[in-house]
Chain A
Amino acid sequence: MTTATLGSAVRTSFQRWQFWLLLLVLGLLSVLLVQAMAEEDMDRYGLENTSLDGYAALAQVLEDQGVNLHPAASAQTAEELLQEHPEAALVVLSRGDVPNEQFLAQLREVSDRPVVLLDESAQLVNALFLESEVSYAGAHAGGGPVEDATLAAGGQCSIPGAVTAQDLRAPGALFYSEDPGCFTGFEDGSGPAQALVETPAGLLFGAPEAFSNHDIAQAGNAALALSLFGEREELIWYTPMGLDAMGAEEWASPTDLLPGWVIPLAWWLLLCALVLMLVMGRRPGPVVGEPLPVRVPGAETAEGRGRMYQSANAVEASAQTLRSAHLIRLARLLRLGAAPEESSILEAAARQVHRDPAEVSALVARRPRNNAELVGYAQALASLEQETEHAVLTAHTRARAAPARPENAEATPKTQPDSQQGKNSSND
């Protein structure tokens, strides 16, 4: 087999398997796309989320400072990590979901590892502190003028990180606590409402918004973040999900409720569908192609030239062309012989339609300056020709209807094609 035939054989087999190859490539592409989409973190306060409400900046800085982040999405993972790193600090970030009861119990037990609880609502507090040692006080707006939005650490504050940070600027939740806290929002009968309070389970911070990519550079937010999370080299970052709160016994598979034959039948019907594809997809022979003919539409040059005239607004040239065309046809219609003068054509035409020669000459000599005038001019020329044609025809029939002329040569020129007369028409 020579290289040429080998090449053509390869090409033929490629053409044959083209569809399947294309399908494979498309499948791979879609899998890659799905993977890429899945890996992109779009969660609020997500550690890899680079949008405004993400924590990517914080995570990056912490890693640069030598802190190892261990994200945990479920209670089980968090448990495993806690056992793996007994010295590590723990962060529990609640976005409206709370950990399951087992984990909460473990949190309530006082341990020697630093724990930071982040929650901007009352959920985590209510779940953790049933005895209301700490309770939710209200929301801090954080917007508005700078002096209203910024919370100062306060003199009573004993948490070193907060003292260093001095002030905080972010919206979030405020809590009442028996122990003194930092960043007092307001004070009422129940005591001061603060953003950062010490609880038996660890530090509770009500404004996770402060550490987002958008707000971390404000006031003392960054300093607070580093001192809160940078304490130990290992940091377990646990974000509870809704499913964690559910006990394992609460799970019920929908398949348990179905009769036993449904799943095998579904698989069998899938097989049937496969067989259907094989049966219907088998062609009775190779696909036969049709060598397509050349297809050139007529008058396309004229069409193109017309568009060119229009786009160039060639009023003058178009009017000139129309004028020449009509004069040639009028000359032929009136049988004025070879190369007649323009004035004689117009004169003859005016005589034929019983109009003033000066008026006809003025009509033809008009120089349109814009599109509207050009349309009017073209229509006037067309109607002049039509009138002349009508007049010539009626004159001709009247002459033929006239009696008492014996058969003569008149019949002969009638059978002659028009080309004979065409030769005699004028030049433009």
Chain B
Amino acid sequence: MVLTRRFLYVTLGLSAVVVVLPEWEALLGCAVLLVVLAALDMALAGSPRSVSVERLPSTPVRLGQPTTANSALHHHGSRRLRGQVKDGWQPSAGARRPVTVVDLTPGRTRRIETALRPSRRGDLHSEHISLRSIGPLGLAGRQVVHRVPHTLRVLPPFHSRRHLPSKLQRLRELDGATAVQIRGAGHEFDSLRDYVRGDDVRSIDWRATARRQSSQGQHLVVRTWRPERDRRVILALDSSRTSAVRIEDEPRLDSGMEAALLLGALASGAGDRVDFFAFDRGLSGQARSGMRGDLLHRMADAMSAVQPQLVEADFSQLPAQVRAITAQRSLLVVLTSLDSGSLEEGLLPVLPALAQRHLVVLAAVRDPELDRRAHARETTSEVYRAAAAERALIEKEALRRQLSSLGVEVVEATPHQLPPQLADTYIRLKAAGRL
């Protein structure tokens, strides 16, 4: 049962009758009149149960971008139905006007569009649509909740996309097409071409030069190199308890996703094969290089459902996961936290074996709050806090050194700096031919 504002105004208006006829009978009469009117209106309203709801599939959207969720209402009843429809999206879906006014004619279908601006990553749900049918007098009506679920997938925002052009440009500079030459083991031979001023004299290929001797004169020939291609890059994202920690109001997990997306886009642009998986106690999401479709899209799709779990990460399964992807030597990037407790017990035991087979990079978010605290020295409590922060930093430093001694590259940066720095590390390793 639903009563409308108009019903309230009618009730208020009837108080004039009560004033003019100050009898209890008149009062009772007015009340009975109201009840009869409401009952009549409710009976005449089109039945909201005779409407069936169909949810139209939605396309995934990046976090922060607007979208619309569509549903179709099929009216099977015999009477016209006027009223309102409310789509029950959860608050973080950001439905701006969840209530739509509808006028359904029997046998017709009406599309309902709800404008959304999601403020949270993951699968957002609307469990129901509620339909309110108001009678012809506009005094009362009926309301029914149709439990037809709808889901909208919200992908990570990928803010670090803005770094992609400059990093791709640097990769292209490594390529033999340009004159920049950085020689190193593992580089692949690209082509021979004429020497131009500015080329490194060390890259002159004397044998080819000798072969090119002609009557016109000397033609120096240089070898060009291009960065190795078709290497394997494996991105392992830790979604365990340490990833729930908020640094600069962003969970570690989200910063790790940004870094993984940038590196994935960069590496696939450079012709490498990229595999991604997220893990805590088991596998919580993955995107394989062998599958069809755009890698970046598949990665974002796999990430969207990953949420921080309050469990300890099981690093012991990491070698098996990597082996399942490839037996080849590859670049393994572990996106986790530089947290002595979880790393010493979980990752350090399996790391030597991994580092022997693969090139391991450990990327972690650095907490700028610790640096700020370490530098605040005004009051007694600030000094004690500074001492505690310094101690945490020393521990991190020791851990870093321990990892480096195992041959692991460590990238530690603030949330906004982590994606570009990880990309820089990748480019540096590629330039050095260490992949």
Interface residues of B in 374-401 (CB under 8 A from A): 374-375, 377-381, 383-394, 397, 400-401
Q: How far is the CA of A185 from the CA of B30 in the complex (A)?
A: 74
B390–A321 CB distance below 8 A: yes
**Which of these, A263, A275, A298, contacts B7 with CB under 8 Å?**
A275
List residues of A (231-276) whose CB comes within 8 Å of B's CBs: 259-261, 263-265, 267-269, 271-272, 275-276
A251 CB → nearest B CB, Å: 24
Verify B24–A264 contact, CB threshold 8 A.
yes
A contact patch SS: helix
Q: A328–B99 Cα gap in the complex (Å)?
A: 62
Chain B proximity mask over A345-376: 1 for CB below 8 Å, otherwise 0: 00000000000000000000000000110110
Report the Cα distance A314→B18, complex, angstroms. 80
**Is B51 engaged at the interface, CB distance under 8 Å to the other chain?**
no
Question: Is residue A406 within 8 Å, beta carbon to beta carbon, of the partner chain?
Answer: no
CB contacts (< 8 Å) of B245 on chain A: these are: 296-298
Residue of B nearest to A320 (CB): B387
Task: Answer yes or no: A164 CB below 8 A from chain B CBs.
Answer: no
B interface footprint on A364-394 (CB within 8 Å = 1, 0 otherwise): 0000000110110011001000000000000
- Say whether B89 contacts A321, CB under 8 Å: no
The DSSP consensus for interface residues of chain B is: helix
B39 to chain A, nearest CB (A): 14
Are B310 and A422 neighbours in the complex by a CB distance under 8 Å?
no
Contact of A261 among B4, B19, B384 (CB under 8 A): B19
When distances are taken between beta carbons in the complex, the residues of chain A under 8 Å from B89 are 288
> Is the C-beta of A303 less than 8 angstroms from some C-beta in chain B?
yes
Contact of B404 among A259, A278, A294, A423 (CB under 8 A): A423
* B residues near A275, Cβ cutoff 8 Å: 3, 7-8, 11
Shortest Cβ gap from B149 to chain A (Å)? 12
Cross-chain contact B394 with A428 (CB below 8 angstroms): yes
A268 to B328 CA separation, bound complex (whole angstroms): 85
Segment among B62-70, B127-135, B285-293 that sits at the interface with chain A: B127-135
Contact B381 A306 (CB under 8 A): yes
Q: Are B244 and A285 in contact (CB under 8 A)?
A: no
A299: chain B residues within 8 A (beta carbon): 367, 369-370, 373, 389, 392
- Please name all residues of chain B whose beta carbon is closer than 8 Å to the beta carbon of A301 when the two chains form the complex: 392
A321 to B373, CA, bound (A): 14
Whether, in the assembled complex, A293 has its beta carbon less than 8 Å from a beta carbon of chain B, the answer is: yes
Interface residues of A in 128-179 (CB under 8 A from B): none
Besides A265-B18, A267-B27, A284-B132, 17 other A-B contacts (C-beta < 8 A)? A265-B22, A268-B18, A272-B11, A284-B99, A299-B367, A302-B391, A306-B384, A306-B386, A310-B384, A317-B387, A321-B387, A325-B394, A371-B380, A372-B380, A417-B411, A417-B421, A419-B411
What 6 A-B pairs are tightest by C-beta distance, nearest first?
Answer: A285-B130, A261-B22, A306-B388, A318-B387, A306-B385, A325-B390
